């Protein structure tokens, strides 16, 4: 892989200096079969500005934040015909590194998988399945993630919240689209995890505020409605929707013998669809026989003991499950990907101290990004690249006071307004953070007319939250996303 690099513009150290964009460009080539992709990479920080009015008088466009991005554009392509995909991860507090170097970008990190994790110093290779073969790509890091920061004197907390986050990412997309002459290009957004919540919000805001209509949303490991995800007093829905994922993970670790995964999931889904929510709703009105039958069935499906199920009052919280399932083997189970197992220092604790599936991939991705951005993209920055930071906390959901967080209404509104908007929903069977049954539930309850339901496709993978860690899933998912873009670009 060749690169013609330009030195990055140093970040100003004088607080009085007005911040400016510090983008650098480099040329690259990628061979896919008998096809050569020549493309330009642009990386660095773009200054976001805000119109300021003082006592009704316009006071200028004030610099507020510097957002880091990396874009890839195919050389020689006609802009109006070439799709562009804006991508980000979630958290809140996550950079776009995972989708960038794990799935979509032209270079990817080799992190290994369960039982065969890569050893440091790790390896970067050409991604011959990159979405760049079908769409230009723009990876965005929200404020306080990656190299994105507020300007000197700015308040990071102003961006650490639901609405302000959507507004800043929307503004970045508007700026990039305008400056690169791409208003007539087919446009897509790819979001993962909390990034799916952001994606739905951004899509609706782009439409309602700027009249920018999208061709498609790629929602990977969805978190569209927290009511279907948050375990809280009085909310039994998550206990029901996590059950099929518990069964899938238990099956992976041998709790159901040699039974096919699809059979186990079907049984769990059937129980979660009728008998289980009924039992939870009955509360103390359950007869002893009904309660015992429920405990037994839950134990069979989840691989936990009936006694444990009884002790937690038929309600299995997810972190408890990951800690309890393999306690007898002195192992914990991954939350992001239930195929992974790890060790803990104390096997009597209520909740595991670390997620082994996150620990497995953190090192490879960090090493790859920090090398790649300097050595191959030519961007130098002394700030630490924040992969997944707690600096964004507390995250504000003030817009949802006295209600749970959801963007299902915004997604539905975007689809009703733009009948051409297509939605791709990707789910991992072993994802213990955003379970597939939760995504199914939210999609089934979208307030859209029946004729628009054909605009939504649901795709499943035998992997976890970052399903692309599993090599067969990565290859298949890449093909699925490429097909989605081709079908939705209307070109």
What are the backbone angles phi and psi of residue 266, rounded to the nearest 5°? Answer: -60, -40
Tens of pLDDT along 455-486?
Answer: 999 999 999 999 999 999 999 999 999 999 99
* Alpha-carbon torsion (94, 95, 100, 101), positive or negative: negative
pLDDT < 70 positions in the chain: 1-16
- Structure confidence at residue 415 (pLDDT): 98
pTM of the model: 0.94
Q: At 50, is the secondary structure helix, strand, or coil? A: strand
- Structure confidence at residue 242 (pLDDT): 98
Closest CA to 302 of 263, 248, 338: 248
- Structure confidence at residue 200 (pLDDT): 98
Tens of pLDDT along 285-310?
Answer: 999 999 999 999 999 999 999 999 99
CB 194 within 8 A of CB 169: no
- Structure confidence at residue 190 (pLDDT): 98
- Structure confidence at residue 15 (pLDDT): 54
CA atoms of 293 and 352, how far apart (whole Å): 29
CA atoms of 233 and 177, how far apart (whole Å): 44
Which domains are present in the chain?
4-227+361-488 (3.40.50.1820), 231-354 (no CATH)
């Amino acid at each position: 892989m060749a690169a013609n690099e330009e030195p990055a513009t140093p970040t100003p150290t004088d607080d009085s200096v007005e911040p400016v964009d510090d983008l650098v460009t480099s040329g690259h080539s990628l061979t896919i079969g008998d096809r050569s992709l020549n493309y330009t990479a642009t990386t660095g920080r773009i200054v976001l500005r805000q119109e300021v009015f003082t006592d009704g008088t316009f006071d200028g466009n004030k610099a507020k934040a510097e957002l880091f991005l990396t874009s890839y554009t195919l050389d020689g392509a006609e802009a109006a015909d070439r799709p562009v995909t804006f991508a980000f991860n979630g958290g809140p507090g996550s950079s776009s590194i995972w989708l960038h170097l794990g799935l979509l970008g032209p270079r990817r990190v080799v992190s290994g998988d369960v039982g065969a994790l890569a050893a440091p110093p790790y390896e970067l290779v050409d991604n011959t399945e990159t979405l760049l073969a079908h769409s230009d790509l723009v990876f965005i890091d929200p404020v306080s993630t990656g190299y994105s920061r507020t300007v000197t004197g700015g308040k990071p907390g102003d961006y650490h919240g639901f609405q302000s986050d959507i507004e800043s990412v929307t503004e970045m997309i508007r700026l990039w689209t305008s400056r690169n002459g791409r208003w007539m290009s087919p446009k897509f957004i790819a979001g993962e995890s909390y990034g799916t919540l952001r994606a739905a919000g951004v899509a609706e805001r782009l439409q309602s505020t700027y009249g920018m209509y999208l061709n498609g949303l790629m929602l990977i490991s969805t978190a569209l409605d927290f009511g279907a995800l948050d375990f809280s007093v009085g909310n039994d829905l998550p206990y029901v929707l996590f059950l099929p994922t518990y069964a899938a993970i238990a099956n992976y670790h041998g709790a159901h013998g040699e039974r096919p995964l699809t059979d186990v999931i079907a049984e769990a889904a059937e129980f979660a669809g009728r008998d289980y929510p009924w039992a939870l709703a009955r509360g103390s009105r359950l007869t002893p026989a009904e309660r015992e039958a429920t405990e037994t069935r839950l134990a069979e499906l989840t691989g936990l003991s009936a006694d444990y199920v009884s002790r937690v009052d038929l309600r299995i919280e997810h972190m408890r499950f990951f800690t309890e399932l393999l306690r007898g083997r002195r192992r914990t189970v991954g939350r992001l990907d239930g195929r992974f197992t790890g060790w803990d220092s104390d096997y009597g604790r209520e909740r595991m101290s670390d997620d082994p599936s996150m620990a497995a991939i953190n090192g490879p991705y960090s090493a790859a990004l920090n090398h790649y951005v300097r050595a191959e993209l030519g961007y130098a920055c002394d700030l630490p690249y924040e992969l997944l930071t707690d600096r964004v906390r507390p995250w504000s959901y003030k817009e949802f006071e006295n209600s749970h967080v959801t963007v299902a209404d915004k997604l539905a509104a975007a689809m009703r307004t733009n009948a051409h908007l297509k939605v791709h929903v990707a789910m991992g069977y072993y994802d213990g953070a955003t379970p597939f049954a939760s995504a199914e539930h939210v999609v089934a309850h979208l307030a859209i007319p029946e004729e628009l339901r054909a605009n939504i496709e649901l795709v499943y993978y035998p992997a976890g939250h970052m399903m692309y860690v599993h090599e067969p899933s990565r290859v298949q998912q890449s093909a699925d996303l490429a097909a989605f873009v081709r079908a939705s670009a209307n070109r």
